[in-house]
Amino acid sequence: MAAPARKRAHFAEGPPGRARAPAEPGAFERRRAARDAAEAAPAVTLAQAEGRGGPRQTTSGPGSITLVGPGDETAPGEIDVRRAPHGSYGGIFGNPFEMRGEEEREAVVSAYRELLRARTTAQRIAQDFRVRLSGRYPARTTHEKRLTALGRLALRVRRGEDIRIRCACAPRACHGDVIAEWVRKRS
């Protein structure tokens, strides 16, 4: 005697004879689509928009963010975006990628931009961009901590505060430009 035929379950397809409704995108897909759309928009760096002399300022909403260098006057409350031990807030805004020479400047700035996108680890980004990860890179600086700190800067600008960030690189290409762009887009 033959075994009775088993009925197949149609979980994925739904009941036979009925068309399946398209799935609604979840939160992950919506965030990915929004991020991809923001990245696809043509970005103009502060350096391109404002030239290479003196403080570079961008206004976005009621407040502003200004990148200043070593030749500019110091102001109370400005934020040092260098690595620890120099940088403010334990160097959380510091670029973990080191330059071995001026020819690596653009690669190091691009690597920092990629780090903020967080598609991979800092070690992998260093390999991809052929730059060196700083020995002073604090392991405690997670991507989430960095983005939280940057989000707080954007919130301060949105609330009308004028923020000055300082780096030793300015007015040359600098990860401070990337920080200012990031804050400008989100304020």
Per the domain annotation, does 107 fall within a domain?
Answer: yes
**Rounded CA separation 109/80 (Å):** 17
Q: Is 79 among the domain residues? A: yes
- Domain of 70 in residue numbering reads as 57-186
| C-alpha R_g of the chain | 23
Q: Looking at residue 114, what is its pLDDT? A: 93
- The whole-number pLDDT of residue 19 equals 54
Q: Is residue 11 part of a domain?
A: no
Is there a domain that residue 162 lies in? yes
> Within the chain, which residues score under 50 in pLDDT?
9-14, 38, 40-60
Instruction: Let me know if residue 42 belongs to a domain.
Output: no
| pLDDT value for 8 | 52
Token reading at 85: 């031990």
Q: What pLDDT, on the 0 to 100 scale, is given for residue 60?
A: 47
Position 133 in a domain? yes
In a domain, 35, yes or no: no
- The contacts of residue 87 (CB under 8 Å, 6+ apart) are 80, 81, 93, 94
Sign of CA dihedral 104, 105, 108, 110: negative
Tell me, yes or no, whether 128 lies in a domain. Answer: yes
Identify the pLDDT of residue 111.
94
Task: List, in sequence order, the alpha helices (H) in 10-142.
Answer: 27-40, 46-50, 105-117, 122-129
Rounded to two decimals, what is the model's pTM?
Answer: 0.65
- Which pLDDT belongs to residue 144? 86
Among residues 66, 44, 65, the alpha carbon closest in space to that of 54 is found at 66
User: How many structural domains is the chain composed of?
Assistant: 1
Taking residue 95's Cβ as centre, other Cβ atoms within 10 Å add up to: 26
